[in-house]
């Protein structure tokens, strides 16, 4: 675990990142990692000198198992409310069936495990404030229909991009095509994020970007426009 911004901790869980944010009203989790790995979140809370009971809200970026896998455990252990976009909420709760996996995802899914179905306490329907003060939601579809990125108003802005893009040492990338439901919408979402103001960007996959993150989003959007991403 490492602190990527003031009170914002990146928690690696095998190959995916979850995030722990300390606020005046307790702890917020952004995504929860893989199924059966919630012990990593418990340890991260202990390392941050917090308890599981301090978790007040779980903000989900999208329904994929490597992002919602620990949500059931954490909601049950903490009593936290779960927030997701209404276009993904039905899959999180089990009201809608899982879409059939495509390509390499069929193989990965066998090892990833199936996440527990979790009630969604607050469904987002568009851009704007979340139930957590300081966090603004931006609907960034493409990776899934209800993918959401969150912008935290702290220290110049911290963007939780989920899987709208992937972090990198030298430049941003994008998720594999097999896990993108709408490539056109995904490119539009990247361009939209490039219009925001933030000094740190964090991702479900890949390291946080603290060096010119907005410029890197603009470069990715430009590559998209040129057909080279």
CA angle 8, 42, 83 (to 5 degrees): 60
Q: What is the pLDDT of residue 104?
A: 61
Q: Is 93 exposed, middle or buried (0-12, 13-18, 19+ CB in 10 A)?
A: middle
Sheet arrangement for strand 2-5:
2-5, 8-13, 16-23, 26-30, 55-59, 81-85, 122-124
Q: Give the pLDDT confidence score for residue 179 in this predicted structure.
A: 87
Element (H, E) at 159: strand 158-160
Every domain of the chain and the residues it spans: 2-226
pLDDT at 170: 80
Confidence of residue 102 (pLDDT cuts 50, 70, 90): low
pLDDT band of 105, cuts 50, 70, 90: low
d(CA 135, CA 151): 6
How much is the pLDDT for 110?
Answer: 65
Report angle CA 26, 28, 30 to the nearest 5 degrees. 170
Of the chain, the percentage scoring pLDDT greater than 70 comes to 95
In tens, the pLDDT along 156-208 reads: 999 999 999 999 878 899 888 888 999 999 999 999 999 999 999 999 999 99
CA-CA-CA-CA dihedral for 78, 84, 86, 92, to nearest 10: -60
Proportion of the chain above pLDDT 90, given as a percent: 83
Q: State the Cα–Cα distance between residues 138 and 126, nearest whole angstrom.
A: 7
Give yes or no for a contact between 120 and 83, defined as CB atoms under 8 angstroms apart.
Answer: yes
Is the model's pLDDT at 100 over the cut of 60?
A: yes
Q: Read off the tokens for 223.
A: 């590559």
- Residue 103, pLDDT above cutoff 90: no
Query: Model pTM?
Result: 0.95
pLDDT confidence of residue 111: 72
Residue 112 has pLDDT above 80, yes or no: no
**Structure confidence by residue, pLDDT tens digits, 140-162:** 999 999 999 999 999 999 999 99
Q: Does domain 2-226 have CATH number 3.60.15.10?
A: yes
pLDDT digits (tens, 9 = 90+) for 9-46: 999 999 999 999 999 989 999 999 999 999 999 999 99
pLDDT in the model for residue 228: 56
Across 70-96, average pLDDT: 97
Q: What is the 3-state secondary structure (H, E, C) of 7-21?
A: CEEEEEECCEEEEEE
Q: In the predicted model, what is the mean pLDDT of the chain?
A: 93
């Amino acid at each position: 675990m490492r602190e990527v911004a003031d009170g914002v901790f990146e928690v690696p869980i095998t190959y995916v990142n979850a995030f722990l944010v300390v606020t005046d009203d307790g702890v917020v989790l952004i995504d929860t990692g893989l199924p059966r790995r919630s012990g990593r979140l418990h340890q991260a809370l202990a390392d941050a000198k917090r308890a599981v009971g301090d978790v007040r809200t779980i903000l989900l970026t999208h329904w994929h198992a490597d992002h919602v896998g620990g949500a059931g455990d954490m909601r049950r252990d903490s009593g936290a409310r779960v927030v997701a976009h209404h276009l993904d909420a039905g899959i999180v709760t089990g009201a809608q069936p899982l879409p059939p996996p495509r390509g390499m995802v069929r193989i990965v899914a066998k090892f990833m495990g199936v996440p527990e179905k979790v009630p969604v306490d607050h469904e987002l329907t568009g851009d704007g404030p979340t139930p957590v003060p300081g966090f603004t939601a931006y609907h960034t579809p493409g990776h899934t229909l209800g993918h959401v990125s969150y912008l935290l108003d702290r220290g110049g802005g911290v963007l939780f991009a989920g899987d709208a893009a992937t972090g990198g040492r030298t430049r941003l990338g994008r998720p594999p095509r097999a896990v993108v439901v709408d490539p056109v919408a995904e490119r539009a979402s990247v361009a939209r994020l490039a219009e925001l103001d933030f000094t740190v960007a964090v991702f479900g996959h890949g390291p946080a970007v603290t060096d010119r993150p907005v410029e890197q989003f603009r470069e990715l959007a430009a590559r998209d426009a040129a057909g080279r991403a």
